[in-house]
């Protein structure tokens, strides 16, 4: 599920900023609710667990109130936000028996961190917060820079995306580090169908098309069959690592080199672009990529039942797990 956004730059007028913080009143956004989000809803806590705010509301929270970091806690999802960068640490699915849960016997950690490099620019404003049922939008700005985080509290298919914007129009590098026990892999179900043409038939018939199956990098763990996801870039380019070359067998029996590490991916995100993720069944569907858009963007919901879902093997075979975990000399931000 993806939600609508508008241009929200560091120089946006106050009225425009308020309008673009949370454009969720459209039929598309309302349609994104499902049984997987029932009972969801976020609270904001200080690092020590003290409640700051919750419920459906719009607030601006002073930086001093939140300290160096704060926790966004839902019924199904939890993560911590660094105030200085608006990067994310310890993103996890919380243990649940609700429909669609990706957990098995405890929490399911996804990301150790998702950290942007602002190259000397500083976020300095209060934190703008929009809470609406199971959805949240957070925004903080500074001179020449802004960061927006959008998240949804669902057991499966929940939205999460980060949107950097710079006054100089240049890219922001974001480093993703998966949690211990979570790993990237080259999905063999996609390799087995690589080159096949499959139908995409969403509820909107004007979007009907046939799509070629291409290789898919997913993440998974060894604890839960339902736990699966993938990085979802919009106007972003992955930086190919040195020292993480993997030989992956194709459907013809030949091998190709896949340059991707087992626990880290690095992305250059265009100003106004987005770096998100797709989780659950939606992470293994064959659907069109996100549109190339950096302003006045109308993101489209993924439509269950409209795409062919190839899923992933469980447990994931070791020969398709990407190695090594980190490139030589890597230091997490």
Instruction: Dump pLDDT digits (tens) for 233-266.
Output: 999 999 999 999 999 999 999 999 999 999 999 9
Average pLDDT for the chain = 88
What pLDDT score was predicted for residue 158?
A: 64
- pTM for the structure as a whole: 0.88
d(CA 325, CA 183): 8
Half-sphere exposure at residue 30, Cβ-oriented, CA atoms within 13 angstroms: 3
> What are the residue ranges spanned by the domains of the chain?
14-320
d(CA 47, CA 37): 25
Q: What residues in the chain have per-residue pLDDT under 50? A: 1-33, 296, 298-303
59-70 pLDDT, tens per residue?
999 999 999 999
What pLDDT score was predicted for residue 159?
A: 79
Write down the residue that tokens 């091998």 correspond to.
Answer: 255
């Amino acid at each position: 599920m993806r939600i609508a956004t508008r241009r929200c730059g560091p120089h946006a007028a106050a009225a425009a900023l308020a309008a673009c913080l949370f454009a969720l009143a459209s039929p598309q956004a309302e349609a994104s609710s499902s049984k997987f989000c029932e009972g969801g809803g976020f609270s904001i806590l200080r690092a020590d667990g003290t409640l700051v705010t919750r419920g459906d509301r719009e607030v601006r929270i002073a930086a001093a109130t939140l300290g160096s970091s704060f926790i966004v806690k839902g019924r199904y999802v939890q993560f911590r936000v660094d105030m200085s960068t608006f990067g994310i640490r310890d993103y996890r699915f919380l243990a649940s028996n609700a429909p669609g849960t990706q957990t098995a016997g405890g929490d399911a950690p996804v990301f150790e961190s998702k950290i942007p490099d602002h190259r000397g620019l500083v976020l300095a404003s209060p934190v703008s917060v929009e809470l609406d049922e199971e959805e949240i939008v957070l925004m903080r700005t500074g001179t020449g820079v802004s960061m927006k985080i959008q998240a949804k509290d669902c057991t499966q298919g929940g939205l999460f995306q980060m949107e950097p914007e710079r006054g100089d129009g240049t890219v922001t590098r974001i480093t993703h580090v998966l949690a211990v026990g979570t790993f990237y892999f080259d999905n063999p179900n996609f390799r087995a169908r690589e080159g096949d043409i499959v139908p995409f038939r969403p509820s909107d018939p004007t979007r009907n098309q046939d799509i070629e199956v291409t290789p898919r990098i997913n993440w998974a763990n060894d604890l839960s069959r339902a736990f699966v996801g993938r990085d979802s870039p919009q106007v972003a380019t992955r930086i190919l690592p040195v020292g993480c070359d993997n030989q992956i067998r194709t459907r013809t029996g030949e091998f190709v080199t896949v340059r991707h590490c087992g626990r880290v991916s690095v992305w250059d995100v265009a100003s106004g672009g987005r770096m998100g993720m797709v989780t659950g069944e939606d992470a293994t569907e064959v659907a069109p990529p996100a549109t190339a858009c950096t302003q006045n963007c109308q993101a489209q919901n993924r439509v269950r039942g409209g795409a062919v879902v190839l899923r992933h093997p469980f447990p994931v075979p070791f020969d398709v797990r990407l190695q090594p975990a980190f490139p030589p000399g890597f230091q997490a931000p």
